[in-house]
Amino acid sequence: MNRRDFCKKAMVAAGGVLIPLAALEVFNPKRLRAERDGKGKVRWVFLVDIHKCVGCGFCVKACKVENEVPYDANVTRTWVERYVVTKDGQTLIDSPKGARDGFTSQKIDQAAMGLKEVKPENIAKAFFVPKLCNQCENPACVQVCPVGATYQTEEGVVLVDRTWCIGCGYCVMGCPYGVRFFHPVYHVAEKCTFCYHRLCKGMKTACVDACPFGARLVGNIRDPEDPVTKIITSEQVNVLKEEFGTKPQVFYLGLSREVK
């Protein structure tokens, strides 16, 4: 063995020693077993009663303050949409500032088309639809994350690890419901957490507590005695964009076909 060979082999051996066995572990079958046995006692679900919503926007305001989403930035974790269906078949939809200040004008904001006012006698029906993260059972946003920064907890809530997110935006594009955005301060993906910090303390979400009309409810679908579970299992509820196969866990009472 000459000196050149010795140096090379010594370096390879040293490198091999330096690699701990844990670093070579890519898949551990024991850890994967958690998936099969992971049937917890809690699975948070949400129920929105469209009949009860009046578009006051207290939910949006409370959410922004509670979750430190910059108040004046045009981003929000939850929002309320107004649908006005006219007698000649038009559907006008708006959500000024995500309804942070509620709906206070009869004029419907049609962006480039300006403000549109529909005469009361020409309104066939009008209603308000609160929207938030659907905390899907098969969250498309989690699947597309290339770094494992967004994930689903045992209770079914999808969270974002702010220290781990690289800001690629795949999840923002991947969500069929458009609930994700970039946080203007942290510059990472941001989304509704079902007020995870409140639910784990036995409280309700900030939007549920702020709603004066009981249009928003949160409950545990694995608890058969939960009033929300009873409504979901016994009444005519619907979900948004079921065809995407994401199994959304925000249920709607009184959902109209105009709602997208």
Q: Which of residues 186-205 bind other proteins (CB under 8 A)?
A: 193, 196-198, 200-201, 203
Q: Mention every residue, 6+ apart, whose C-beta is less than 8 A from residue 21.
A: none
* Residue 159 burial by Cβ neighbours in a 10 Å radius (0-12, 13-18, 19+): middle
Of the residues 51, 87, 187, 260, which one makes contact with other proteins according to CB under 8 A? 51
Of the residues 46, 79, 127, 181, which one makes contact with other proteins according to CB under 8 A? 127
Residue 88 in the binding site for other proteins (CB under 8 A): no
Residue 249 in the binding site for other proteins (CB under 8 A): no
Of the residues 42, 75, 116, 151, which one makes contact with other proteins according to CB under 8 A? 151
| Cα 92 from Cα 110, distance rounded (Å) | 8
| Cα 128 from Cα 115, distance rounded (Å) | 18
Residue 139 in the binding site for other proteins (CB under 8 A): yes
Instruction: Compute the least distance from the CB of residue 21 to other proteins, in Å.
Output: 10
Which of 56-64, 90-98, 182-190, 231-239 is the region at the interface with other proteins (rule: CB under 8 A)?
Answer: 56-64
Residue 245 in the binding site for other proteins (CB under 8 A): no
59 phi and psi angles, rounded to 5 deg? -65, -45
Greatest Cα-to-Cα distance within the chain, rounded to the nearest angstrom = 98
Residue 251: strand pairing partners? 47
